[in-house]
Amino acid sequence: MKHFTVFILACGAVWTARAQNTKPNFPSVLPGNGLAQHDFFYAGEAKTQDMYIVRNGKVAWEFHDPAGKGEISDAILLSNGNVLFAHQFGVTLIDRNKKVLWNYDAPAGTEIHTAQPIGTDKVLYAQNGDPAKVIVVNIVTGKTEREFVVPVKNPKSVHGHFRHARLTDAGTLLVAHMDMQKIVEYDSTGKELWSYSPGAATWSAERLKNGNTLMAGARLVREVNPAGATVWEFTPADVPDYLFNSMQIAKRLPNGNTLINTWFNQWNGPADPASGPVQALEVTPDKKVVWALRAWGNPVDLGPSTTIQLLDQPSVPEAVHFGDLK
């Protein structure tokens, strides 16, 4: 994540300083039930490619590819047990037995940090590059079914273009333009329908059931209405007892709470099991922490957290469409 180099180094200094001082990186008693709070699928940006399914508080499935090139920025567990994940230099679909069902290698000079299945035969991904593109490919026929160019701030600075894009219930696409500090909604032809500029680099965005948009960046989670007015906001200042200042993805849960992941920079060194910060928080609308996930070694080291997909209720995440593509 070179786009956060200065910020990450600052965070590294903060972690070191706080470890040396008396104030810890988290409360002595964490709220919630640890790994048993929810069943979930977990993946994150790390030096190695690791993914987990946790059920009833224990790891039920895990994937490791220490030789894999690139960080996992996005991953989705499909209803049939397959896993689609974007890993910087490609997109891969594997089955429950970890057999590769489909793979796409990013062309030289490009990166892919986000992908989403459309049904069982199509994959949408955003490709950082010059030019940057949104592409939908039929993984059965190999045919590209949709492709359009999207603007970026600096076409040559490929790594920082975007990290996350998500389809809406209306069949449009929300793209978090990290380098442009902007959220843009596109239709399936690439036409811009809506945009919002939060004034800071934004890592992810999703359209909520109420029509608002929830976005996350390093030090900010914000919900805005279609007019761009802020209706809810969360910052590290809301949880002063936690070191929680590199947020990546925020998800609104069915119970109204918000689940937020925070990144840990393994490139500055491994997390200390005794002082490594929490990997995710679940907070209520009034910002009370009801679950803090922290798993750096005992009983399992989940590694850095980028995405958590809750599995408490059956779902079909591939049941989406992009305009006429279903």
Which one, of 190, 284, 296, 313, lies nearest residue 243 by Cα? Answer: 296
pLDDT in tens, the chain (326 residues): 434 333 333 333 333 333 444 578 999 999 999 999 999 999 999 999 999 999 999 999 999 998 899 999 999 999 999 999 999 999 999 999 999 999 999 999 999 999 999 999 999 999 999 999 999 999 999 999 999 999 999 999 999 999 999 999 999 999 999 999 999 999 999 999 999 999 999 999 999 999 999 999 999 999 999 999 999 999 999 999 999 999 999 999 999 999 999 999 988 888 999 999 999 999 999 999 999 999 999 889 999 999 999 999 999 999 999 999 99
Please give the structure tokens belonging to residue 134.
């949104």
CATH hierarchy code of domain 2-310: 2.120.10.30
Which one, of 317, 263, 315, lies nearest residue 38 by Cα? Answer: 315
User: What residues are paired with 86 via a beta bridge?
Assistant: 74, 91
**CA neighbours within 13 Å on the CB side: how many for 215?**
35
Decide if 77 contacts 41 (C-beta within 8 A).
yes
Q: Which amino acid is at 121?
A: D
Domain ranges of the chain: 2-310
Compute the distance between CA of residue 204 and CA of residue 183 in angstroms, rounded to an integer. 8
The pLDDT value recorded for residue 22 is: 56
Q: Which amino acid is at 139?
A: I
